[in-house]
Chains A and B, each alone.
Chain A
């Protein structure tokens, strides 16, 4: 009894800080979502209003594209890179470090740099594509409605695939060399080694990393907001940016809170799966 209460005493400060920083904002958001800007209870009016807004379904489908597109390419490119970096070749240490650069560069710096490089008239990308004649005329990467979301996804993939690569590489390095040799003696080609030995062994890592990436893609603001703010014509408006803009640009905190609450429900489901998966792995590995 005595020892237990002493324990609570020790975690109390941390619990207080957590309570103020997390529980209070969450609870307050919940309260905002069912009140108007005078603080009167209005039931589900805010939910109705925001769900009725024209931007909401657009943002929903943009978010879907954004998350699925980002995750698929981040995981595929990350895993392939990890497999490559796990091979023995000259200069491997340097290539490994260089691969990490996008992940290390601050998001806002990366976004600004990409915005310059993608500029229709002065950007280096259009210059490099038009000068040798690959493209007839410059493409408005960030202004053309059909290219802008794919470009955002590409930048996000570029930013995050090193993270996948490094995590999967760590997993690959923990595979005993004997297993590869056994597979080679059993007659496996390189891609059969990848498919039958490497991937099954790093599957738990890939699952955990994928769920993390989903959470991060769902929460994403930096790159898109810094480059397009959701435009042009809401083509890159994803739900977190819609929430942000509803709250701080349109100053409709109550509707933003209502959208947040719904979004929170989705995000918490993913987090739940993440925790269950990673906890399951920890249990299974020993």
Chain B
């Protein structure tokens, strides 16, 4: 049981402000992912939540209790570090039971809880091994086991999968997700990988340069990015952004081709705007716009085509198997329902009101 409330939290190192007022509300049992490019302050925020960094301004509350002044051990949180931070001189069982031992729990109880967590994580055969005798994936599990044994109010993860190879990462991703579904412990998970965020999160917090850009479910962020940053950050391959001008209900690209819009944005006319379109929202259409093919990358299930459209290089993904070569021309149409428009100055999403 643990809700988390982060209210206008700021962090400065000396005179450098790193976090500029971050507010996030996390419901009990929710799996929230903080995602953003390296250096945007995700780890700092997580460490403030854990009690490893001072809070310069604002408030953090766990279960409606302000924890600003509390030590990590008084916050009832558990954390999984990127480096795992396993105690090298302790066995797997000792690592997992360490917090209970410090809490003066009886021996049988420690043994029982360690065994239960080890069972959930398939670590039972390794309980007497030392961390150096384990593979990367096993160490990762021990780090999670150490957190699970405590049954805390909140789990904190800081890029826990970034030291694993791609295949293991996908596997651990789903294991973490499954464990969350079983334990239902509130989780705050930090990553720079938007795919990890999309696949794991109940809700995603997109951060950038010490501010929250948008909070929402994965599909909300995907379908309605609030600004250019979120639009470009979420999705892979990322959204194509074309800059141009508005004219009536058309978007005029840099090389003066017109794209029809499904709606006329309210305030802007004849001003610079950016048009965003995701790669999968192109369709082949004999009456569409001409685009010159630059590269073709078939993956089997789909074909990714880089092409020159309206003076911009864009990437399109087609479900059908198209046979085309660099230098040839395709005629494509943009799905009008899936066009995003952003203000040229502020980068904010333009609605159809």
Contacts and interface: CB of A to CB of B under 8 A. Distances in A.
Contacts of B71: 184
Interface residues of B, number: 22
B146 A181 contact: no
A contacts with B: majority SS: helix
A203 B89 CA distance: 10
Most chain B beta carbons < 10 A, residue from A185, A187, A203: A185
Contacts of B102: 186-188, 192, 196
Contacts, number: 56
A19 interface: no
Contact of A176 (B73, B83, B99, B146): B83
A181 B86 CA distance: 11
B85 A182 contact: yes
B14 interface: no
Contact of A185 (B72, B88, B89): B72
A179 B85 contact: yes
A117 to B, nearest CB: 43
B70 to A, nearest CB: 12
Interface in B41-90: 50-52, 71-73, 77-79, 81, 83, 85-89
A179 B87 CA distance: 7
Contacts of A184: 51-52, 71-73
Contact of A197 (B72, B83, B87, B146): B87
Nearest to A181: B52
A200 interface: yes
Given A192-B102, A196-B98, A185 B87 contact: no
Contact of B81 (A181, A197, A200): A181
A58 interface: no
Nearest to B76: A187
Contact of B85 (A178, A200, A203): A178
B77 A185 contact: yes
A72 to B, nearest CB: 24
Contacts of B83: 176, 178
B103 interface: yes
A90 to B, nearest CB: 15
A185 B102 CA distance: 11
A201 B88 contact: yes
- Judged by DSSP, the binding face of B is loop
Contact of A178 (B51, B72, B81): B81
A197 B98 CA distance: 11
B194 to A, nearest CB: 25
B89 A186 contact: no
A179 to B, nearest CB: 5
Interface in A175-214: 176, 178-179, 181-188, 192, 196-197, 200-201, 203
Contact of B79 (A176, A185, A188): A185
Interface string B238-252: 000000000000000
Contacts of B51: 184-185
Interface of A: 176, 178-179, 181-188, 192, 196-197, 200-201, 203
Interface of B: 50-52, 71-73, 77-79, 81, 83, 85-89, 98-99, 102-103, 146, 150
20 contacts: A178-B83, A178-B85, A181-B81, A182-B79, A182-B81, A182-B85, A182-B87, A183-B87, A183-B98, A184-B52, A184-B71, A184-B73, A185-B52, A185-B99, A186-B150, A192-B102, A196-B87, A200-B87, A200-B89, A201-B88
Given A179-B85, A187-B72, 20 more contacts: A176-B85, A178-B83, A178-B85, A179-B87, A181-B81, A182-B146, A184-B73, A185-B72, A185-B77, A185-B99, A186-B73, A186-B98, A186-B99, A186-B146, A186-B150, A187-B99, A196-B87, A196-B98, A197-B87, A200-B87
